[in-house]
Amino acid sequence: MGFMNLFKHVLGDDWGVHPDDHKRPAADRPVRVMPVPARLYLPLQQHLGGPARPVVLVGQSVKKGELIAEAQGAVSAPIHAPTSGTIAAVTEITAPHPSGLTLQAIILEADGLDEWQELSGCDDPFALDPAEIGKRVAAAGVVGLGGAAFPSAVKLTGASRSKVTTLVMNGGECEPYLSCDDRQMRDSAAGIVDGIRIMLHATGAKVALVGIEDNKPEAIAAMQAAAAGVANVEIRPVPARYPMGSEKQLIQVLTGKEVPADGRAFDIGVVVHNVGTALAVRAAIREGKPLISRVVTVNGNCAANPGNIEVRVGTLAEEVIAFAGGLKGDGLGLARRVMGGPMMGMQIPHWRVPVVKGSSGILAFDAAEVAEQEPNPCIRCGSCVKACPMGLLPLEMSARIRNEAYDDAIGLGLKDCIACGCCAYVCPSKIPLVQFFVHAKGELAAQDRAKLRNDATKKLALQRQDRLAREAREKAEAAAKRKAEREAAAVAKAAATAAAGQGEVV
Amino acid sequence: MIAAILSLTVLGAVLGIALGIANKFLKVEGNPVVEELVAMMPGSNCGQCGFPGCTGAAEAIVAGTAAATCCPPGGKALASAIAAKLGLTVDLSALGDDGPKIAVVSEELCIGCCRCSKVCPTDAIIGAAKQVHNVFREACTGCESCIDKCPTEALAMKPVPVTLQHWVMPRPLSA
Amino acid sequence: MSEILLLLLSTALVNNVVLIKFLGLCPVMGVSKSVDSALGMGLATTFVLMLASAASWMLDNWLLQPLGLGYLRILTFILVIASVVQFTEMFVKKTSPGLYQSLGIYLPLITTNCAVLGVALLNVQQQFSLFKSLLYGFGSALGFTLVLLIFAGLRERVALARVPAAFAGAPVAFITISLLALAFMGFSGLNV
């Protein structure tokens, strides 16, 4: 360990890992545009938050860009037809998710015309009210294209409401193998800068800091050239290190501020967007085009011809791979299918899952890349502690989670874990640490749901008991009343007969 | 000899009286732990634990005659909360691996007799006379009180379907 | 002053009541699963030990010795200790129901905790003054609480480790406490 390394270690500034990035040659090849496939599979939930609600009927024909499912709830995003055609079905399809479970999707049969609906763009977005921009972005179904797919409009309007000062643009693309952001920054730098300016206007931030990892010199050069005349957009190269593209890490490197443990970026006056999202925002505002396509990286040792491909949302991964050039040896050496990045992406069960708005990559790994190994016992080397970008103790947390002591794990900071996978990557014993944390978070969420449910049903049970008691009381009261009436009537009758009897006597 | 008897008697009497007085001042009405547990439990008095209502179960758990995991509707969340409260260690895996179940009405068998909806402790069964009943999924605690009441066996316990929103990544097996 | 310190150190560490004299092992094995309940147990035992030391000294010096009833010593001490424990139990139940629940059977069992009776008898044997008896009781209780806390902390760690099936549970706890006892033997060379 050299002196500088020691210094960094003492400062706690040597977080993260340096995986071999495998970005080239895919990043150096131009983006290919894939033709519209015969059928598109559009899941109703392509974003974080509530699923969208279909607003079309089976058999209905739609134009390209037409709304087919509307947002539902505060955090949600609508879905638009990526091409013109007919709605074939609304049914369950395999989700791009490691569980292999299904989710509701609209199946669209393309008619081959690819005919846009009437679009209403805006020539001068800077004359628009920021709230209006937020509305238009929401209506265009734009979500974060970095991978988490958080509805962008929610962040834009939230940022202007909480008065953020800095817009951080995430061009880190720290995940190995992926190069879709890199490619877009090289090809459409001017468009991205325009999008950033629109977003600055929408959020009310003073300055935009574009963080780009220094392993993408071409992208940095292109972006610097495009931002040359723009005063409040700064291009900032950052060291290439995983997970530099994680929100909290990028904010700290670019602004020096740290997001508090249970807070959000808003709390320190920062909002983070992906550079690809800037392009989508620009298209939504300038041209009125909804988000219906994205650039996806096809990569991995098994991909015959790696590269970046612009595909319509809803295209099956199978068809994207076929268009890209198929798999080497017809996929004989295929060991793992991944959607998204290799570190945080989803392992998928088969290729017949659709590309959604948040899919950044389709990766076909062979056995050498997966390097699957049986885990060995923890040797307490502390590599994971050093690698953790959040400064947590993965080995301690996983030991507690193994014993189901989830509360202790929370005490050690489980809720701050960003599931980046650095710990599992460096672990010499190949312990699936990040799986422990994802499991524990899921388990805790399930327990929270169970608790909420328990409280709700308890309320119901108490209400029922109250109701039964009230009914019994009312019944008793009614019975008493009837009895009293009967007795009164009997008394009156007796009196009447007595009076009548007396009358007879008289 | 007499001194010994006398001194022991006096000592015993003094200590006994002192304890008696202390007991008066430090008396605890009821068992606060039981009350806390009752507040945590589902309160539907479904009887699946084998005790008369949630209070009975809470008393049994405090007395140690029942396990903290004895409440099926409470599930793992309740079991671990009780264990934390009482300082017990529980084997959460003792709670069925097949996950929670809820009652489901098969519509072709239901004759709308209303017998099930009368016994449901959480009013989770909706339906009027001669109308097909239905179970309100969110309100059903899976207590099985209704199952035996159905004359046509239209009610059955089915596991709650796992959806994407409810899926939990399994715990890694080794290491 | 130095004598006080010496007495405290030698009772708490050098002549540790649990690991050197092997008194009061039952609660050490029983209430050491978590640090919280171990601390509660340690405090309860401290309370009982102090009260019992004082009460037994007074009994011995003001009643048993003047009347020549030394042969009733164990009997009367047990009587006093039982009363003190009963009082402690009421007190804990009133003030901290949760602790009362987690200490469970081990709370009334302080009565038969031989550390308590042992300390009371040792006080008489060494013919301490009232103040020194109290100090001796306090030092012993300190040592008891210390060992209980260390051991509970160790057991919390051991619970996370992958112990071979044959050793899981009590066996590994016994191994742990024996190693702890070896470590405490080191104090016997302490030159205070």
Residue A504 pLDDT > 90, yes or no?
A: no
In eight-state DSSP terms, residue A74 is S
A248 touches chain C (CB under 8 A): no
Query: Where does the pLDDT of residue B175 fall: very low under 50, low under 70, confident under 90, or very high at 90 and above?
Result: low
The whole-angstrom separation of Cα B3 and Cα B11 is 12
Share of chain B above pLDDT 90, in %: 10
Ligand-binding annotation for A423, yes or no, is yes
Ligand-binding annotation for B70, yes or no, is no
A72 touches chain B (CB under 8 A): no
pLDDT for res C191: 64
Query: Where does the pLDDT of residue A424 fall: very low under 50, low under 70, confident under 90, or very high at 90 and above?
Result: very high
Nearest chain A residue (CA) to C158: A399
Domain count, chain B: 2
**ω into A25 cis (within 30 of 0):** yes
- The Cβ of residue A195 has, within 10 Å, a number of other Cβ atoms equal to 26
The whole-angstrom separation of Cα A216 and Cα A430 is 30
Tens-place pLDDT, residues B120-149: 888 889 888 888 999 988 888 888 888 888
Nearest chain C residue (CA) to A405: C160
Share of chain A above pLDDT 90, in %: 77
What are the helix (H) ranges across A117-261? Answer: 130-139, 152-161, 180-187, 189-203, 217-226, 247-255
Give Cα separations from C36 to B91, C82, C97 (angstroms): 20, 25, 14
Helix, strand, coil content of chain A in percent (nearest 5): 40, 20, 40
pLDDT for res A506: 47
Of A98, A460, A462, the CB nearest to B139: A460
Task: Name the residue among C88, C86, C181, C105 with its Cα closest to residue C143.
Answer: C181
Q: What CATH number is given to the structural domain containing B113?
A: 3.30.70.20
Q: Tell me whether 0.90 is exceeded by the ipTM.
A: no
Q: Residue A245 has which token pair? A: 């593209």
Residue C150 pLDDT > 90, yes or no?
A: yes
Of C72, C90, C100, the CB nearest to B23: C90
The whole-angstrom separation of Cα A301 and Cα A66 is 38
- The Cβ of residue A50 has, within 10 Å, a number of other Cβ atoms equal to 17
Helix A152-161 vs helix A275-282: angle between axes, to the nearest 10 degrees? 90
Helix (H) or strand (E) holding A459, with range, is helix A433-505
Residue A505 pLDDT > 60, yes or no?
A: no
pLDDT for res C176: 93
Side-chain half-sphere of A327: how many Cα atoms within 13 Å? 20
- Report helix, strand or coil for C165: helix
In sequence order, which residues have a C-beta less than 8 Å from that of residue C115 and are 6 or more positions away?
Answer: C17, C18, C21, C23, C24, C45, C49, C140, C144
Q: What CATH number is given to the structural domain containing B66?
A: 1.10.15.40
Residues B67 and B104 both lie in one domain: no
Answer yes or no: do A402 and C159 touch at CB < 8 A: no
Question: Which residue has tokens 């199952």?
Answer: B147
**ω into A217 cis (within 30 of 0):** no
Backbone angles phi, psi at A143, to 5 degrees: -125, 165
Task: Name the residue among C148, C134, C82, C132 with its Cα closest to residue C112.
Answer: C82
C158 touches chain A (CB under 8 A): no
Q: Which of A30-34, B59-63, C74-78 bottoms out in mean pLDDT, i.e. has the lowest? A: B59-63
Average pLDDT over residues A453-465: 84
Burial class (CB in 10 A: 0-12, 13-18, 19+), A331: middle
The whole-angstrom separation of Cα A147 and Cα A41 is 19
Ligand-binding annotation for A388, yes or no, is yes
Domain contains B65: yes
Q: Which domains does chain A have, with CATH numbers?
A: 1-29+120-288 (3.40.50.11540), 295-370 (3.10.20.600), 375-506 (1.10.1060)
Backbone angles phi, psi at B121, to 5 degrees: -70, -15
Residue C192 pLDDT > 80, yes or no?
A: no
Backbone angles phi, psi at C39, to 5 degrees: -65, -45
Domain contains B20: no
In C15-74, the residues whose Cβ lies within 8 Å of chain A are: none
Question: Which residue has tokens 């009196």?
Answer: A495
In C124-143, the residues whose Cβ lies within 8 Å of chain A are: none
CB pairs under 8 A between A and B: 100
Of A432, A446, A454, the CB nearest to B166: A446
Of A98, A375, A447, the CB nearest to B76: A447
Domain contains B47: yes
Of B3, B28, B86, the CB nearest to C101: B86
Average pLDDT over residues B45-57: 80
Tens-place pLDDT, residues C20-34: 888 888 888 888 888
Average pLDDT over residues B47-59: 81
Share of chain C above pLDDT 90, in %: 26
Of B122, B162, B168, the CB nearest to A460: B122
Residue type, B99: G
Ligand-binding annotation for A180, yes or no, is no
Side-chain half-sphere of A360: how many Cα atoms within 13 Å? 30
* B92: Cα separation from own chain's centroid: 15
Ligand-binding annotation for A302, yes or no, is no
Domain contains B153: yes
Question: Which residue has tokens 């959460």?
Answer: B92
Burial class (CB in 10 A: 0-12, 13-18, 19+), A11: exposed
Contacts of A403 in chain C (CB under 8 A): 159-160
Q: Give chain C's mean pLDDT.
A: 88
Residue A28 pLDDT > 90, yes or no?
A: yes
Residue positions counted in chain A: 506
Q: Which residues of C61-73 are buried (b: 16+ CB within 10 A; e: fewer)?
A: eebbeeeebeebb
Query: Shortest Cα distance from B158 to chain A (angstroms)?
Result: 17
Answer yes or no: do A403 and C159 touch at CB < 8 A: yes
Domain contains B25: no
pLDDT for res A360: 94
Ligand-binding annotation for B114, yes or no, is no
Residue B160 pLDDT > 70, yes or no?
A: yes
- The residue extents of the domains of chain C are 22-153
Contacts of B86 in chain C (CB under 8 A): 98, 101-102
Nearest chain B residue (CA) to A427: B175
Residues A219, A120: contact at Cβ < 8 Å? no
Backbone angles phi, psi at A362, to 5 degrees: -125, 110
Question: Which residue has tokens 């699957």?
Answer: A372
Per the model's pLDDT, the better-predicted residue between A420 and C68 turns out to be A420
Residue A1 pLDDT > 70, yes or no?
A: no
Domain contains B48: yes
* C136: Cα separation from own chain's centroid: 12
Range of the structural domain that residue B106 is part of: 99-161
Query: Where does the pLDDT of residue A81 fall: very low under 50, low under 70, confident under 90, or very high at 90 and above?
Result: very high
Q: Give chain B's mean pLDDT.
A: 83
Residues B70, B62: contact at Cβ < 8 Å? no
Average pLDDT over residues A267-290: 94
A204 touches chain B (CB under 8 A): no
The greatest distance separating any two alpha carbons of chain C, rounded to the nearest whole angstrom, comes to 60
Question: Which residue has tokens 């050098």?
Answer: C14
Per the model's pLDDT, the better-predicted residue between A53 and A147 turns out to be A53
Answer yes or no: do B121 and A454 touch at CB < 8 A: no
The whole-angstrom separation of Cα A315 and Cα A303 is 18
Residue C120 pLDDT > 80, yes or no?
A: yes
Query: Shortest Cα distance from C25 to chain A (angstroms)?
Result: 27
Residues B106 and B157 both lie in one domain: yes
The whole-angstrom separation of Cα A247 and Cα A259 is 9
Residue A165 pLDDT > 50, yes or no?
A: yes
What residues form DSSP beta bridges with A213?
Answer: A238
Backbone angles phi, psi at A72, to 5 degrees: -135, 110
pLDDT for res B98: 59
* A58: Cα separation from own chain's centroid: 28
Answer yes or no: do C83 and B62 touch at CB < 8 A: no
pLDDT for res A2: 59
Residue type, A161: R
Answer yes or no: do C102 and B7 touch at CB < 8 A: no
Q: Residue A431 has which token pair? A: 């312990």
Domain contains B53: yes
Q: pTM (2 decimals)?
A: 0.84
Contacts of C159 in chain A (CB under 8 A): 403
Q: Which residues in A394-490 belong to E strands, given as ranges?
A: none
- Report helix, strand or coil for A40: strand
